[in-house]
């Protein structure tokens, strides 16, 4: 049993904002990053929440994350926006893209937002959910540091390259989908390593391309994709959309999202928002489909666990592992007595 | 060894055009459908080629495919097009969407084309390849009659719901990706049934939701998705994009693509084209990525087998199973001596 500390969403948000301001971020950037990490933690995506704070702070201090990033938004085409994140955090760049891109999608019927020279964008669910809350259909892809080998090869080329989707649903919260193309998230292997536990076969291969149950060997090898060759094919598709189309590094070139030193990640994100407005029954049709699935014995709708976690976090606050909480508290108030 | 008949692409095209005209299609529609089926056969997608001709002809004759479809193209938003296929063939509707949509994508930076009240769209590769040949990045999804159950449930709700992608590559043919979300195409199970052979476990479940190696039981049950729950989640995403967004039937409501009778399929297709034009190094970056993968021992680039099949078909013509060829020949010339 891990010892945990209970903290309200508001207190968590204030604490994290303080950490990032102290580490060199502007008030606005610190706010944006703190908001995203607390949202990820609150929805149960603990690999994208408190566990990232110390690494983000260290990268800000070393300059691996540019604390003075001069983010620039341009409109290279009537229905296209590009945000140059200038090696700063991804979160404010994505916020800027959505702030301009959602009205644009409503005006044009569809808009594409590319974000280049970016960093870790955390739980994609948080970003696409905002698109659906605005009444639009959202699609988002991102590339991430190399983790998956092309099918048949043994060296990683693709990231776990997540894809996310969200759609409005009539008289209900949006449907939010967010998945990576590896069988499991790399964070699960890291968690197994920390816990000193083996991983199931089918999650990863070692550096020689052989199946392994050793999390350490897995982290030096590659993650297995969903659907074998089909998964690596989808990872290639996302690689083109998130790196070449955004002017960012390929996953194989990207620096780590962890550690204070080493090359910058320089990854990219591509977001597409579509206005279903011309189809008046759209939200109702999606509701019909989801209701039909929910009524089937054994079936579970994507996002159900996520929404339950958010509701729990909103009423009871976050349960953060004590060692993480104290680490973050120390970063917020380095001079305080402990 | 199946007996085959060799036929040139041009002769195959003329033969199929004749079949569809005789079955009630206009010259233009017959041409469009024949072109798509020959292209699919020539790239080795035999489940979308000659094997479909008799079923298409029977559906035209029964009116299940509307021979007098009054296709209507509208522009509900500046960067959005909608084609109402009016229960006719999908191919001319997709052609019309691309003819108007590709210039629109070039003008706006991105365009979305939705095709509603449609039919079987065959090999998606053929459609998205045209987008990449026009210098744009293409994405396409389609829903198909029900075949995959929501994860944990036993009744099918989703089609095998294919997704396709194509991108220009500098100094090389486009990269074309086309995959369905089932572990294998349903056509492979049908082929095993015809051949009287068992199927591997992991392809399908029977009507009770149990693993099966019996192709007949599999056809009455459900196809297994890639990546377990992740695959059904992607199928749900495609369902929303291809059915609700296009104003078409859900996969669970769609009539069969086979048989002359029964309800019309009424499925939908959604196509997105993105202009990478503002990023001058785009094609070169994609080339770098593909070259890097191609140089890895054991790796194979998606589409390599497809391009080899096309080259072979262009030089040697098609090798069509004799029984299929004679069936089609008979449909083209019902009165000829055999």
**pLDDT tens profile A294-315:** 999 999 899 999 999 999 999 9
Confidence label for A204 from pLDDT (cuts 50, 70 and 90): very high
With CB atoms and an 8 Å threshold, state whether B78 touches A137. Answer: no
| Spatial distance between the Cα atoms of A134 and A11, rounded to a whole number of angstroms | 27
Determine contact, residues A77/B108, Cβ cutoff 8 Å. Answer: yes
With CB atoms and an 8 Å threshold, state whether A231 touches B231. Answer: no
Residue of B182, B210, B274 to mutate when probing chain A, most A C-beta within 10 A: B274
- Architecture of the CATH domain B1-62+304-338: Orthogonal Bundle (1.10)
* Portion of chain B with pLDDT greater than 90, in percent: 93
Q: What is the DSSP string of A260-287?
A: SSSS---EEEEEEEE--TT-TTHHHHHH
Q: Where in chain B is the domain with CATH 1.10.1530.10?
A: 1-62+304-338
Reported as a single tens digit per residue, the pLDDT across B87-111 is: 999 999 999 999 999 999 999 999 9
Reported as a single tens digit per residue, the pLDDT across B54-73 is: 999 999 999 999 999 999 99
Copy the structure tokens of residue B270: 């959604």
Q: At what angle do helices B27-42 and B9-22 cross, to 10 degrees?
A: 140
Summarize the confidence of residues A51-73 as an average pLDDT: 97
With CB atoms and an 8 Å threshold, state whether A157 touches B233. Answer: no
Q: Which of A27-36, A243-252, B179-188 has the lowest mean pLDDT?
A: B179-188
Q: Span B79-182+225-302: which CATH code? A: 3.30.1370.60
Q: Span A1-62+303-338: which CATH code? A: 1.10.1530.10
Nearest-CB residue to A79 (from B108, B245, B289)? B108
Which residues of chain B are within 8 Å of residue A292 when distances are taken between CB atoms?
157, 250, 252
Reported as a single tens digit per residue, the pLDDT across B177-231 is: 999 999 998 878 988 998 999 999 999 999 999 999 999 999 999 999 999 999 9
Q: Where in chain A is the domain with CATH 3.30.1370.60?
A: 70-182+225-302
With CB atoms and an 8 Å threshold, state whether A78 touches B231. Answer: no
Determine contact, residues A57/A33, Cβ cutoff 8 Å. Answer: no
Q: Which residues contact A235 (CB under 8 A, 6 or more apart)?
A: A148, A158, A159, A160, A161, A181, A225
* Portion of chain A with pLDDT greater than 90, in percent: 94
With CB atoms and an 8 Å threshold, state whether B237 touches A79. Answer: no
The whole-number pLDDT of residue A278 equals 87
Position B77 pLDDT exceeds 80: yes
Nearest chain A alpha carbon to B251: A289
Summarize the confidence of residues B124-141 as an average pLDDT: 98
- Alpha-carbon distance B206 to nearest alpha carbon in chain A (angstroms): 16
Report how far apart, in Å, the C-alpha atoms of B78 and of each of A131, A281, B244 are.
19, 21, 20
Nearest-CB residue to A239 (from B82, B231, B289)? B289
Nearest-CB residue to B111 (from A82, A110, A297)? A110
Residue of A84, A115, A302, A306 to mutate when probing chain B, most B C-beta within 10 A: A302
The whole-number pLDDT of residue A187 equals 78
Q: Which of B219-223, B240-244, B334-338 has the lowest mean pLDDT?
A: B334-338
Stated as kind and residue range, the H or E segment containing B274 is strand B267-274
With CB atoms and an 8 Å threshold, state whether B245 touches A279. Answer: yes
Confidence label for B147 from pLDDT (cuts 50, 70 and 90): very high
Q: Where in chain B is the domain with CATH 3.30.1370.60?
A: 79-182+225-302
Determine contact, residues A177/B238, Cβ cutoff 8 Å. Answer: no
| Spatial distance between the Cα atoms of A233 and B176, rounded to a whole number of angstroms | 10
With CB atoms and an 8 Å threshold, state whether B109 touches A282. Answer: no
The whole-number pLDDT of residue B10 equals 97
Between A and B, how many CB-CB pairs are < 8 A? 209
With CB atoms and an 8 Å threshold, state whether B244 touches A152. Answer: no
Reported as a single tens digit per residue, the pLDDT across B148-164 is: 999 999 999 999 999 99
Which residues of chain B are within 8 Å of residue A132 when distances are taken between CB atoms?
none
Summarize the confidence of residues A107-133 as an average pLDDT: 98
The whole-number pLDDT of residue B221 equals 95
Q: Which residues contact A278 (CB under 8 A, 6 or more apart)?
A: A109, B76, B77, B80, B82
The whole-number pLDDT of residue A229 equals 95
The whole-number pLDDT of residue B338 equals 53
With CB atoms and an 8 Å threshold, state whether A79 touches B109. Answer: yes
With CB atoms and an 8 Å threshold, state whether A153 touches B299. Answer: yes
Which residues of chain B are within 8 Å of residue A241 when distances are taken between CB atoms?
137
Q: Where in chain A is the domain with CATH 1.10.1530.10?
A: 1-62+303-338
Average pLDDT, chain B: 96
- Alpha-carbon distance A208 to nearest alpha carbon in chain B (angstroms): 12
Residue of A82, A84, A150, A287 to mutate when probing chain B, most B C-beta within 10 A: A150
Interface ipTM > 0.90: yes
Which residues of chain A are within 8 Å of residue B77 when distances are taken between CB atoms?
108-110, 275, 277-278
The whole-number pLDDT of residue B1 equals 61
Which residues of chain B are within 8 Å of residue A72 when distances are taken between CB atoms?
none
Tell me the CATH class for A70-182+225-302.
Answer: alpha beta
What is the total residue count of chain B? 338
Which carries the bigger pLDDT value, residue B326 or residue B190?
A: B326
With CB atoms and an 8 Å threshold, state whether A240 touches B175. Answer: yes
Position A338 pLDDT exceeds 60: no
Handedness of CA A218, A222, A228, A234 (dihedral sign): positive
The whole-number pLDDT of residue A90 equals 98
Confidence label for A335 from pLDDT (cuts 50, 70 and 90): confident
- Alpha-carbon distance A278 to nearest alpha carbon in chain B (angstroms): 6
Confidence label for A188 from pLDDT (cuts 50, 70 and 90): confident
Q: Which residues contact B330 (CB under 8 A, 6 or more apart)?
A: B336, B338
With CB atoms and an 8 Å threshold, state whether A137 touches B111. Answer: no
């Amino acid at each position: 049993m891990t010892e945990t500390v209970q903290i309200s969403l508001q207190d968590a948000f204030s604490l994290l904002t303080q950490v990032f301001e102290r580490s060199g971020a502007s008030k606005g950037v610190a706010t944006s990053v703190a908001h995203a990490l607390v949202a990820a933690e609150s929805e149960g995506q603990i690999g994208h929440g408190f566990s990232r704070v110390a690494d983000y702070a260290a990268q800000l201090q070393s300059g691996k994350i540019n604390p003075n990033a001069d983010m620039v938004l341009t409109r290279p085409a009537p229905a296209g926006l590009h945000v140059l994140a200038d090696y700063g955090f991804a979160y404010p760049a994505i916020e800027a893209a959505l702030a301009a891109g959602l009205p644009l999608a409503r005006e044009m019927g569809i808009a594409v937002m590319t974000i280049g020279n970016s960093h870790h964008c955390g739980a994609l669910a948080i970003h696409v959910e905002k698109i659906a809350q605005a009444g639009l259909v959202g699609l988002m892809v991102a590339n991430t540091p190399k983790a998956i080998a092309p099918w048949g090869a043994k060296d990683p080329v693709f990231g776990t390259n997540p894809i996310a989707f969200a759609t409005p649903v009539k008289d209900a919260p949006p449907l939010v989908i967010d998945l990576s193309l590896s069988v499991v998230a790399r964070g699960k292997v890291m968690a197994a390593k920390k816990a000193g536990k083996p991983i199931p076969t089918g999650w990863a291969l070692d550096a020689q391309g052989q199946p392994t149950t050793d999390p350490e060997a897995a982290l030096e090898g590659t993650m297995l994709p969903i659907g074998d060759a089909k998964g690596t094919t989808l990872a290639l598709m996302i690689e083109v959309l998130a790196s070449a189309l955004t002017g960012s590094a390929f996953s194989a070139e990207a620096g780590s999202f962890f550690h204070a030193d080493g090359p910058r990640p320089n990854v990219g994100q591509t977001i597409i928002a579509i206005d279903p407005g011309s189809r008046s029954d759209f939200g109702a049709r999606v509701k019909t489909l989801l209701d039909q699935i929910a009524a089937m014995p054994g079936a579970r709708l994507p996002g159900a666990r996520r929404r339950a976690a958010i509701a729990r976090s909103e009423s009871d606050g976050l349960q953060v592992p004590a060692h993480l909480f104290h680490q973050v508290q120390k970063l917020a108030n380095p001079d305080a007595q402990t």
